[in-house]
């Protein structure tokens, strides 16, 4: 059996004792900042989680979706979250432990479709929260650089980039 992050799991029946491969399920852990990075993340910055958000219920025929764009306006929600977590509304069970086939994206949000579930099961009702950097407007300068200067704006842009991309946030 072979496994790689780029190719996934590869099982050759000929290499197995009984000549057959089992049905496997794999999980990937993505670097922070990647499309599907999920929480919890480790960092030494002042980032914070939002409150739990539940904008959609699982009453429709499609499933449960908690899109990021629908959560805009939630207190503490930033433009570019660092991580996302999802759990069931009723039992507070993390999405990774429910057996549901779900998609988590820091750019899009949460998606659970009934059609993706095994054995005709339906998605549970989920809530999500996002981890946001604790940036409060950029870098405080002790070098005499004024807030409106080109250098200050460039430093602020770089600080935001480092915070969003690598979790290295200035306070």
81-118 pLDDT tens trace: 999 999 999 999 999 999 999 999 999 999 999 999 98
Q: How far apart are CA 154 and CA 18, in angstroms?
A: 62
**Is 9 within a domain?**
no
Cα separation, 134 vs 89, in Å, equals: 27
Domain that holds residue 112: 27-132
Answer whether residue 4 is part of any domain. no
Both 153 and 110 in one domain: the answer is: no
In angstroms, rounded to a whole number, what is the distance separating the alpha carbons of residues 54 and 124? 12
Q: Are 79 and 155 in contact (CB under 8 A)?
A: no
Q: Retrieve residue 79's tokens.
A: 């433009």
CB 41 within 8 A of CB 52: no
The whole-chain average pLDDT of the chain stands at: 75
pLDDT tens sequence across 35-49: 444 445 454 557 899
> Are 90 and 158 within one domain?
no
Q: Based on the domain organization, do 122 and 45 belong to the same domain?
A: yes
Task: Please state the domain count of the chain.
Answer: 2
Considering the domain architecture, whether residues 96 and 120 belong to the same structural domain is answered as yes
Residue 70: its H or E element: helix 68-71
Is the residue at 106 inside a domain?
yes
Note whether residue 13 is domain-resident.
no
120 in the same domain as 66: yes
Is 108 among the domain residues?
yes
Over residues 121-146, the pLDDT tens digits come to 999 999 999 999 875 443 333 333 33
53 and 96 both lie in a single domain: yes
- 31 and 80 share a domain? yes
Residue 169 has pLDDT above 70, yes or no: no
Q: Are 164 and 101 members of one domain?
A: no
Residues 168 and 153 in one domain: yes
């Amino acid at each position: 059996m072979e496994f790689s992050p780029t190719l996934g799991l590869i099982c050759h029946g000929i290499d197995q004792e009984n000549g057959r491969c089992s049905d496997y399920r794999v999980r990937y852990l993505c670097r922070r900042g990647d499309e599907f990075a999920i929480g919890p993340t480790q960092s030494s910055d002042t980032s914070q989680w939002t409150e739990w958000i539940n904008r959609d219920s699982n009453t429709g025929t499609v499933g449960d979706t908690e899109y990021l764009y629908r959560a805009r306006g939630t207190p503490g929600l930033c433009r570019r979250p660092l991580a996302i977590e999802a759990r069931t509304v009723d039992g507070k069970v993390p999405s990774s432990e429910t057996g549901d086939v779900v998609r988590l994206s820091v750019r899009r949000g949460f998606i659970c479709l009934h059609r993706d579930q095994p054995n005709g099961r339906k998605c549970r009702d989920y809530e999500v929260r996002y981890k946001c950097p604790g940036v409060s407007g950029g870098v405080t300068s002790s070098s005499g650089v004024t807030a409106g200067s080109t250098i200050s704006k460039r430093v602020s842009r770089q600080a935001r980039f480092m915070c969003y991309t690598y979790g290295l946030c200035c306070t």
